[in-house]
Amino acid sequence: MTLVAEDISCRRDGRLVLDDISFSLPDGTMTALLGPNGAGKTTLLRVILGLEKADGRILLNGADLSTLTRREVARRIAYVPQTNTVAFAYTVADMVAMGRLSHARFGLITPADDKDAVTGALARLNISHLADRAYTQLSGGEQQAVLIARALAQGGRTLLLDEPASALDFGQQKRLWAQLRDLAEQGYTILCTTHDPLRAREIFDVALLMRQGRLVDCGAVGSVLTDEGIDTLYASAHVP
């Protein structure tokens, strides 16, 4: 599904935090969202998810997401946070099954209906062997894979990830990027914030560069993430 942003502007406490942002991301692409702290990256993800009000439109495969319910949006777009702190030692299978809540009837997950989605998501991330383990006992890389599996279990084909590699060591990062690349090759549209432009240049297809709430460049990583472009993006400046 093609993800399109049209003239997105967002104010918070009277301050403009997103300023007239437009882009289009086709199916099967990995897009890196880069910019200094405070550039508006996470706010943009929240707007796409419908968690923050904004002017303009977000379209997914031609459908205006503002016309859909939260549950309908969740069936189309899944969010993977940086971290996920849980109070109870849920099993990995239970964590992934939570991705099926948007499909639940009367607030209940129906195992008979959702078993295939959960087992399929675990298999796709190669973590079926962890199904009965406690999520809290996993390594950071394993936990991140569980969160992505939970997103896949939601059933949508668009994934938004906020700094998914920030707490992972090099080996875990390498496995994570390989998993995401495999998903993109299967047709998933992936939008991912990152603070690593050099790694993004090696892994991603497209880059969106944000600064002070504005989209300053957008295009193939080879043409956007040049040494000069990176230096300009992260040059010292006041970011509100």
Domain regions of the chain by residue span = 1-76+158-168+190-240, 82-155
pLDDT at 222: 92
- Please give the class, per CATH, of domain 1-76+158-168+190-240: alpha beta
Question: What's the pLDDT tens digit per position in 71-80?
Answer: 889 889 999 9
pLDDT at 103: 76
DSSP state, 199? H
What's the rounded Cα separation, in Å, for the pair 119 and 117?
A: 6
Query: Distance between alpha carbon 4 and the CA centroid of its chain, in Å?
Result: 15
pLDDT at 239: 45
Q: Is the pLDDT of residue 193 over 80?
A: yes
Q: Which of 158, 172, 187, 183 is nearest to 78 (CA)?
A: 158
Q: Is the pLDDT of residue 137 over 80?
A: yes
DSSP state, 187? T
Burial 177-191 (b: 16+ CB within 10 A, else e): bebbeebbeeebbbb
Neighbours of 225 (CB within 10 A): 24
pLDDT at 155: 87
